[in-house]
Structure 1
Amino acid sequence: MAQFNKLLGIKNMLSPHKWEIGVSAGSYYPSLTQDFWGNDIGLAYDDDHLGMQFYAFSYHIDEIEDPEHVACRLFSLNLLLNGALRVAWNKNFAVPVEFTHFALCDGGGQHSVHAANIENNPFSQNADIDKYEHEATPASGRLSSRIFNLCKKDEVLRSLIFQVGLISLNSSLETIMTWGTLYKIYDSVKYHSKKNNYDFLKLGDPGRINQFTAACNSSLLLGVYARHGDMGWGQPAAAITDINEATSLILDLANKFCLVHIGAQHP
């Protein structure tokens, strides 16, 4: 633990971490531990005789005593982390970062990460988390960590990143739900672009976006995947019915919106 804090450059003003988080992720994770900056979430790994072990820490859970509350907060932070990574990288990834379990750093039983509800604002109010960032690795130094960090104070960004974090194509049921999630992302970007006088038409190809919405609204095309039930509408002339193509389109829309929004609201 001391070595981990030293590597991150965390100063003495912040207490040692209380909880350690077990992580499951893809082969990109070791590189991500170096590329995700700031004090919000510390990502780390060990490579020893047991193989490669992924883990993480967060000051946003260290002040919590109740494991049930920790489990709920970690579930929400996990969604935001994956959402921030997808938007920053402008792509979906088959194996997202998953917080699987957690335990006290000084010993104790493991607890699973789960939640009946998403915690809408899963962040500590401890201002020292930002105040004592290491100057060489501030959250603002990487787009993914900057997006995550700004979610603490920007409700528009936080709501959108939560939605992106919910994208999942790992099962048939999750794919069905993801069509609706993608439409929510589209709705959010369109609404907040209009509200903030961003040029929505410059954020994506209007023709392809219309093909996406046409598919989502057509039960003739998508069946149970559609946003609506039977409405008596005819089949659209052109539509995007491939979920991977639709996901790429909407992630690109979210990426462009976030860049414009951050530039305008958090220069």
Structure 2
Amino acid sequence: MLSPHKWEIGVSAGSYYPSLTQDFWGNDIGLAYDDDHLGMQFYAFSYHIDEIEDPEHVACRLFSLNLLLNGALRVAWNKNFAVPVEFTHFALCDGGGQHSVHAANIENNPFSQNADIDKYEHEATPASGRLSSRIFNLCKKDEVLRSLIFQVGLISLNSSLETIMTWGTLYKIYDSVKYHSKKNNYDFLKLGDPGRINQFTAACNSSLLLGVYARHGDMGWGQPAAAITDINEATSLILDLANKFCLVHIGAQHP
């Protein structure tokens, strides 16, 4: 059986969060909220941190789990959202000081090996019952999916610097989808509009068009005839590519 949670996680998120608490199933992350005289309070729990004693390790693991959660939500919803779920702090459930969520490095496999987490799922709300929680749950055993969802979790347009970095992240997602589609004999051309994808890659490779946003520095290449230079359009295009890949991949590898 699963023990009571050790750590409580403070959460910042958008107005969608109360609905999300009812729509993210399984035991990997429990999302919850209170609406009282103090206003709306968002929080979460996870068995993947309950076995850890060191707050520094908890902070690192939560940072990684947070990336995967937002990546899974973006892929499942097939859209970016301006206010992602953010794990802001955590504290012992039975009292104690708060600790901030931070990490010098991403933990590549931020999951507990406790098999009871999946074994004792509530039969009415298994992780497999919702696409977002299924993707998150499969990241525990599928390295291809986990790597891709990490990349999607890194998408951020909240500042100029993050927008610059996101162009590179989107190209990495494109690279990953193309490579693993070829490796697993998925039809890459059916995952997205080849013409628009070519316009995206043309922009990413052109410092004449994107300047500091470009994937390359000056290479002496001419300006492409057509290119996607709007970050919101590019994000929507690549999220749709990731969504279609995940549906094909899950259907083939985890039927």
Q: Which TM-score tier does this pair reach, normalised by the shorter chain?
A: over 0.9
- Deviation of 1:28 after TM superposition, in Å, equals 0.1
SS of 1:54's equivalent?
strand
Q: Distance in 1 between matches of 2:108 and 2:228?
A: 32
SS of 2:9's equivalent?
strand
Which string of whole-angstrom CA distances, capped at 9 and with x for unpartnered residues, describes residues 183-204 of structure 1? 0000000000000000000000
- Deviation of 1:165 after TM superposition, in Å, equals 0.0
Which string of whole-angstrom CA distances, capped at 9 and with x for unpartnered residues, describes residues 109-144 of structure 1? 000000000000000000000000000000000000
Which string of whole-angstrom CA distances, capped at 9 and with x for unpartnered residues, describes residues 34-73 of structure 1? 0000000000000000000000000000000000000000
User: How high is the TM-score relative to the length of structure 2?
Assistant: 1.00
Q: Distance in 2 between matches of 1:57 and 1:247?
A: 30
Q: Distance in 2 between matches of 1:102 and 1:46?
A: 16
What percent identity do the matched residue pairs reach? 100
- Deviation of 1:92 after TM superposition, in Å, equals 0.0
Q: Distance in 1 between matches of 2:54 and 2:36?
A: 32
Q: Distance in 1 between matches of 2:183 and 2:138?
A: 19
- Deviation of 1:149 after TM superposition, in Å, equals 0.1
- Deviation of 1:235 after TM superposition, in Å, equals 0.1
- Deviation of 1:99 after TM superposition, in Å, equals 0.0
Q: Distance in 2 between matches of 1:46 and 1:37?
A: 18
Q: Distance in 1 between matches of 2:99 and 2:6?
A: 14
Which string of whole-angstrom CA distances, capped at 9 and with x for unpartnered residues, describes residues 171-218 of structure 1? 000000000000000000000000000000000000000000000000
Q: Distance in 1 between matches of 2:180 and 2:187?
A: 10
User: How high is the TM-score relative to the length of structure 1?
Assistant: 0.95
Q: Does 1:213 align with 2:201?
A: yes
Q: Distance in 2 between matches of 1:63 and 1:233?
A: 53
List structure 1 runs of 4+ shifted beyond 2 angstroms.
none
Which string of whole-angstrom CA distances, capped at 9 and with x for unpartnered residues, describes residues 243-264 of structure 1? 0000000000000000000000
- The equivalent of 2:181 in structure 1 is 193
Q: Distance in 1 between matches of 2:27 and 2:181?
A: 30
Unaligned runs of 5+ in 2: none
Q: Does 1:105 align with 2:93?
A: yes
Q: Distance in 1 between matches of 2:39 and 2:159?
A: 28
Q: Distance in 2 between matches of 1:83 and 1:30?
A: 19
Q: Distance in 2 between matches of 1:201 and 1:247?
A: 18
Unaligned runs of 5+ in 1: 1-12
SS of 2:88's equivalent?
strand
SS of 1:103's equivalent?
strand
- Deviation of 1:154 after TM superposition, in Å, equals 0.0
Q: Distance in 1 between matches of 2:141 and 2:121?
A: 17
